[in-house]
Amino acid sequence: MNEKWILFDFDGVIVNSRQSLYAAYISFLENFGKKGNISEFDRLDGPNIEEIVHLLKDRYDIKENIETLKNYYKKNIQLNYEKIKLNEGIQETLTNLLRKKYHLGLVTSADKVLVNNILTKYSLTNLFELFVFGNDVKKSKPNSEIYQLAIKKANVDVTKIIAIEDSENGYISAVNVGIRCIRVNPKERNMFHFLENI
């Protein structure tokens, strides 16, 4: 049995969710009379919902409590997540890696319930052996806690793990604990081509 693991990020890697997440971010701020921008949104690619809400509450001086804001932001994401689709080629890529006896994991700052709904919708859940969600850690990407937990769950030497990320925050999170990380561009056609000969 192959002892090597490949750990996938979710947003941007498994699913094409950038536009949906941006719409959720914009809608959240508009509800409080605030206007977001793409530059700020890009910097929020990595933190989990609670961290995002804390940042936006402080930055825009929003008065509502964190729990209310978190639930509202999560609801916005849920509404927009219903529209997202898988990235082209991901199902075939995952199946081929399993055929080669790789262990597959999902390491995401996203919410467990929201991600599981999408995995169930596209029948992907059973393809992964290992899961780490934003709910499982106190600090998410670019902090390395999420990958430290993934290493512990995989129970192998870090040299046997490859991470696939699309964001700078995700890349930093992985490499800072010694994981070889490959950063992909969701806009690139056939973005998983490099895994064909791995």
Question: What pLDDT, in 10s, does the model give residues 4-14?
Answer: 999 999 999 99
Specify whether 106 is located in the same domain as 158: yes
Residues 100 and 183 in one domain: yes
Q: Domain ends where: 39, 59, 81?
A: 81
pLDDT tens string 92-112: 999 999 999 999 999 999 999
Clarify whether residues 67 and 96 are in a common domain.
no
The pLDDT score that the predictor gives to residue 152 is 98
C-alpha distances out from residue 179 to 75, 88, 162, 171, 176, Å: 33, 25, 6, 9, 7
Domain identity same for 190 and 138? yes
Domain final position from 61, 81, 101: 81
Q: What's the CATH code of the domain at 131?
A: 3.40.50.1000
Name every residue whose Cβ is closer than 8 Å to that of residue 185 and which is 6 or more positions away in sequence. Answer: 166, 191
Q: DSSP string covering 17-71, please?
A: -HHHHHHHHHHHHHTTT----HHHHHHTSSS-HHHHHHHHHHHHT--S-HHHHHH
Q: Are 102 and 127 in contact (CB under 8 A)?
A: no
Is-contact 5 161, C-beta < 8 A?
Answer: yes
Q: How many domains does the chain have?
A: 2
How many whole angstroms separate alpha carbon 162 and alpha carbon 147? 11
CB burial readout 49-66, b (16+ within 10 A) else e? bbbbbeebbeeeebeeee
27 and 123 in a single domain? The answer is: no
- What is the span of the domain harbouring residue 145? 5-16+86-197
pTM: 0.91
Residues 91 and 156 in one domain: yes
Tell me: pLDDT of 192 over 90.
no
pLDDT category, 1, cuts 50, 70, 90? low
Residues 154 and 186 in one domain: yes
pLDDT band at 198 (very low <50, low <70, confident <90, very high): confident
Q: 73 and 12 in one domain?
A: no
Asked if residue 188 and residue 119 are part of one domain, the reply reads yes
What is residue 186's predicted lDDT score, i.e. its pLDDT? 83
Q: Are strands 15-16 and 161-165 parallel, antiparallel or unpaired?
A: unpaired
